[in-house]
Amino acid sequence: MTVLLVMAVSAVFLFGVGRLYSGYISRKLGMDPARPTPAVTKADGRDYVATPTAVVFAHHFASIAGAGPIVGPVIAVIYGWLPALLWVLLGGVLIGAVHDYLATYMTTREGGISVATIVRRMVGTGPFLAITVMIVVMLALVCAAFLNLSATALTSMLPFERLDLPPGQTLFRVVATAAGQEQVVIGGIASMSVVCITIVAPLVGWLYIKKNVAVWKCSLLATAVCTVSIAAGVYRPIALDALTWKLLLSAYVLVAAGAPVWIFLQSRDFINVHILYVGMAALVVTLAVAGLRGADASQLKGGAELIPALNLSEGNKANGFFWPGLFILIACGAVSGFHSLCAGGTTCKQLTSEKATRQIGYNAMLLESFLAACVIAVFIVGAVKADYIRDVHPKALLDLQVESNAVLGFAMAVGNTAKLAFGVPIAVGALAGMVLLEGFLVTTLDTAVRLTRYLIEEVWRTVFARLDVFAQPVAMREQAAGGVEMPIGADGLPVAPSVADQPAAPSKPIATAGLLRGICLVLRQYWFNSGLAVALMLAFAMTGGQKALWAIFATSNQLLAALVLSVASLWLLRQGRSFWFALAPAAVMLVTTLTSLCLEIVKLIDNPGKNITLLIAEVVILGITTYLLVAGVAEAIRFVRTRGHATLPA
């Protein structure tokens, strides 16, 4: 019955307390549902596309969730399921959802720009370039971690003897390893599903964007596509090695990052989210039935030990000290800086109303936190501790020279839970868990590479703004100078845009010719910037193991969230609005992430040869963070002295 209590408390807290708290924040922000959004005022049919809220929610949720709310809890539950659950619930409502809501609201209110550009408007070009470089590095780590996890999931083969299958079964393909062990091909089914959904995605996008077909009709089509894709995978699984899948996925995101959002990004997320919704619903039902039956995995293995509520000693040995370890490893399920990039990169360009900033920004994070809580519940009821440690922490706790495999750990826990609930073979539940996980992974790769492309393009426009190839057209500069594109200033009133708001655009741009002009023209091409984003992703993916990449990605990811909350605090201060609900979680996350960052750097220094690429990335992130904090504090002090002489908001 423990699992039923966990699920009930999680649902009530997240969606009950979360609704009340988000309503309070909404009133403090002064949200205006009648205010035109960038998707309406800047509609271009490519990036700025007014889209039904349900479709944007599907895209946003699929993009932000990724593997975070699954893989993070899988790795961190070794500390015990209770601290993991408490961090997901409290972090989700008080930090993560607040971060997402503020990022979505700010970027929408500021005209559909990125958080980095908001930094330029408030603090200047130097901090803008610094945070942009940091975000590009962080995104490359995100993409690398998810690329490796995707390849693992798409090529996963599970030991036959652990899947409860009868001899001679024909549902799953079985192969023999070099050592003679029989392995069941699970990942190939998810592979076929990924391929089918990707092929059909442009058709679905064309229907709801170009032909204005009702969303519910497109939803029925998407459900049919998902069903057929999984059935096709069972009938004809795709068998490729991990390296091949990494290269194929890289080629796909290279194309998708430059195509109009409705062709792959929106439409693929819209189709795939039906698997995610159905998968989450099935997970909840499975947990409920197992809880009502009072069953747990110890019954499958003759009284074997389960994951305990508290297990700090082994957790500290496996992942480092409880603080900051637990609060970093469970990234997207509690708070994630990557979400702000989705908000300012694609989501804010598609919203039809400011009201949707709360519906999508805050509520999508709550749903993600609930998914993380369900994953933790799966390990409460469906994980045998010894099997879990062998799959997820073999090196740290068993001294085995085997890579951590969080994908396998999750699949087996779901398989055990499904057997306890419905009596089906463990392989059936393991397959369902694999398809659910892979659905989240690939959708995040789509979004992350496109966001990296956006940011790289902003860097070139800023650094080379004085060159004629990059100089803004005179009409655009005159329009901005006339106040058409104005940020929100102090006391919520528009102010004239600062010099830092636009890259320098001289009346007489510097003429370029020859090789320099050729280079500048190449830098303006979306395919070059998409290619650079993919190259960075592959560089990190090839130089770090799954667990090491996850730890470094999670640290930089949480650190970005702390910085975005700090930016939101300054943004609200400049408007004369209350900002404590942004500043308090910013301080908590800054202390936690900077501590983790320093510990990670020390760990990498001990073995610099193997992890030199990751070490350089961590040092760069630490230096940029220090610079940004100094610049931000200086700007806050300057603002208070010059314009904040009145009583500050409570």
Which of 465, 117, 450 has the alpha carbon at shortest distance from 253? 450
Which DSSP symbol is given to 264? T
The fold for domain 2-300+310-466+524-642 equals Amino acid/polyamine transporter I (1.20.1740)
Q: Give the distance from CA 591 to its chain's centroid.
A: 22
Torsion angle defined by CA atoms of residues 65, 7, 375 and 195, in that order, rounded to the nearest 10 degrees: -50
Cα separation, 101 vs 106, whole angstroms: 8
pLDDT tens track for 602-630: 888 877 666 777 788 888 899 999 999 99
Distance of CA 243 to the CA centre of its chain: 23
Question: Over the stretch 540-575, which tens digit does the pLDDT of each residue have?
Answer: 888 766 667 777 888 888 999 999 999 999 999 988
Q: Round to whole Å and give the CA distance between 415 and 297.
A: 10
Taking the C-alpha atoms of residue 55 and residue 351, their distance in angstroms, rounded to an integer, is 10
For 94, residues 6+ apart whose C-beta sits below 8 A from its C-beta are 21, 585
Kindly calculate the radius of gyration of the chain based on its CA atoms and give it in whole angstroms.
Answer: 24
Residue 616 has which token pair? 């350089």
- What is the average pLDDT across 276-283? 86
- Asked if residue 22 has pLDDT above 50, the reply is yes
In the block, which residue shows the tokens 């130097």?
126
Residue 485's pLDDT is what?
34
Which pLDDT belongs to residue 178?
A: 67
What per-residue confidence (pLDDT) applies to 499? Answer: 39
Task: Give the SS3 label for residue 175.
Answer: strand
- Give, for 304, the enclosing helix (H) or strand (E): none
- How many Cβ atoms sit within 10 Å of the Cβ of residue 423? 7
Q: Is 641 exposed, middle or buried (0-12, 13-18, 19+ CB in 10 A)?
A: exposed
Average of per-residue pLDDT across 374-402: 92
**Cα–Cα distance for residue pair 563/123, rounded to 1 Å:** 13
Matching residue, tokens 């409705």 = 262
| Span 65-80, pLDDT tens digits | 777 788 899 999 999 9
The predicted-structure confidence for 443-453, as pLDDT tens digits, reads as follows 777 777 887 88
Task: Quick: pLDDT tens for 424-434.
Answer: 988 888 888 88
Q: What is the mean pLDDT of residues 236-242?
A: 80
pLDDT of 358 > 90? The answer is: yes
Residue 184 dihedral angles phi and psi, to the nearest 5°: -95, 130
Of 103-112, 125-134, 161-170, 500-509, give the lowest mean pLDDT range. Answer: 500-509
Which pLDDT band holds residue 586 (cuts at 50, 70, 90)? very high
Contact assessment for residue 75 and residue 392, using Cβ atoms and an 8 Å cutoff: yes
The reported pLDDT for the residue numbered 386 is: 92
User: For residue range 250-279, what is the model confidence (pLDDT) as tens digits?
Assistant: 898 888 887 877 788 778 878 887 887 888
| Confidence label for 376 from pLDDT (cuts 50, 70 and 90) | very high
Alpha-carbon gap, residue 114 to 583, rounded angstroms: 20
pLDDT of residue 387: 92
**Per-residue pLDDT at 366:** 96
> For position 608, what pLDDT does the model report?
64
| Rounded Cα–Cα distance for residues 569 and 581 (Å) | 8
Distance (Å, whole) CA 344 – CA 341:
5
pLDDT digits (tens, 9 = 90+) for 208-222: 777 888 888 888 998
Which range has the worst mean pLDDT, 63-67, 151-155, 252-256, 466-470?
63-67
Decide: 458 and 132 in contact? Cβ < 8 Å: yes
In percent, the amount of the chain with pLDDT more than 90 equals: 35
Order the strands of the 182-185 sheet from edge to edge.
Answer: 157-159, 182-185, 174-176
Which pLDDT does position 237 carry in this prediction?
A: 81
Contacts of 97 (CB under 8 A, 6+ apart): 18, 21, 22, 361, 362, 363, 365, 366, 369
CA–CA separation, 448 and 141 (whole Å): 10
Confidence class of residue 1 from pLDDT cuts 50, 70 and 90?
low
- Taking the domains of the chain in order of start, what are their residue ranges? 2-300+310-466+524-642
Question: How confident is the model at residue 507, as a pLDDT?
Answer: 62
Residue 330 to residue 600: CA distance in whole angstroms: 16
Q: How many Cβ atoms from other residues are within 10 Å of residue 195's Cβ?
A: 16
Residue 474's pLDDT is what? 38
Asked whether residue 479 carries a pLDDT value surpassing 50, the answer given is no
Strand partners, 183: 159, 175
**Average pLDDT of the chain, as a whole number:** 84
Confidence label for 476 from pLDDT (cuts 50, 70 and 90): very low
Q: pLDDT tens digits for 170-192? A: 777 788 876 677 888 777 777 88
Q: Tell me how far apart the alpha carbons of residues 242 and 227 are, in angstroms, rounded to a whole number.
A: 25
Q: What is the pTM of this model?
A: 0.84
pLDDT of res. 101: 97
Average pLDDT over residues 7-20: 95
Query: What single-letter amino acid sits at 416?
Result: N
Residue 481 has pLDDT above 60, yes or no: no
Beta-bridge mates of residue 176? 182
**DSSP characters over 106-129:** HHHHTTS--HHHHHHHHT-HHHHH
Q: What is the 3-state secondary structure (H, E, C) of 16-32?
A: HHHHHHHHHHHHHHCCC
Separation of CA 468 from chain center: 37
- pLDDT of res. 477: 38
* pLDDT score for 494: 29
